[in-house]
Structure 1
């Protein structure tokens, strides 16, 4: 059974699907910000990001380019870094639970924990895509 699992998880198709699923929250959001541009601009303005139009464009570009780099498995470290930094920046901008009242405070706290988990997943993608052999731990 381990050989079967290794052959599945080691395949190019599995890698492509895994990278696509991991980045889906980003590329779907980027597409939405372009497809419904005015709503994306309103979202940026809601969070105090001005000029909202430029922030919407920059956000969509970051999400789409970062996702594309990861999915294509080219400059994966850069795409993962872009999306990790983007995700980290959303915490103080949109999910500042420490400044909120209950019950939204607890809900936003869990959203932040999910964001940290996504950052960890992006770190794993960058690590596993590295072409340099990693020295064994002693």
Structure 2
């Protein structure tokens, strides 16, 4: 007998997972939209290629795809895409291996948080969104 904290199915757990994963992206995507000039400046600061284009991609991925994951629309392919984006941002934005001291530690933590988030997105892609989603309807 399988123990399931959320009752009969995994649908509630998948909904909670989508909400928790999407919250980060939607929140920071919104900040990138409302402070777009600062987002472009940050992209230039961390060495992102084509800072303006990188900022647009960040907004689309974080806010746009984050909302779609939240509501469970094209969840599996978008979770894979967002996982790849998250890994890319870890490499581009948190290159701790080129740093020292406190900056290195902070970026190492953020790098591995991104890797962990990508793992959660991969699990979501494997499991699917559950029935409390647009895909599940």
Q: 1:51 & 1:11 partners in 2: Cα distance? A: 40
Could you list the structure 1 runs, at least 4 aligned residues long, displaced by more than 2 angstroms after superposition.
Answer: 2-12, 14-18, 48-54
Q: 1:66 & 1:126 partners in 2: Cα distance? A: 13
Q: CA 1:108/1:7 → structure 2, altered by over 3 Å: closer, same or farther?
A: same
**Which has more radius of gyration?**
1
Could you say which structure has the higher helix fraction? Answer: 1
Q: Out of 104-113 and 20-29, give the one that drifted further.
A: 104-113
TM-score (normalised: structure 2): 0.78
Superposition deviation, residue 106 in structure 1: 2.5
Q: Is the 8 A contact 2:91 2:111 kept in 1?
A: no
Q: 5+ residue gaps in structure 2?
A: 131-137
Superposition deviation, residue 63 in structure 1: 1.3
The residue aligned with 2:89 is 90
Aligned residues: CA RMSD: 2.5
Q: Is the 8 A contact 2:43 2:55 kept in 1?
A: yes
* 2:108 alignment partner, SS class: helix
* 2:122 alignment partner, SS class: helix
Q: 5+ residue gaps in structure 1?
A: 132-138
TM-score (normalised: structure 1): 0.78
Matches of residues 1-138 of structure 1 in structure 2 within 5 Å? 5-7=5-7, 10-12=10-12, 15-129=14-128
Q: Is the 8 A contact 2:15 2:129 kept in 1?
A: no
Q: CA 1:77/1:3 → structure 2, altered by over 3 Å: closer, same or farther?
A: closer
Q: Is the 8 A contact 1:44 1:55 kept in 2?
A: yes
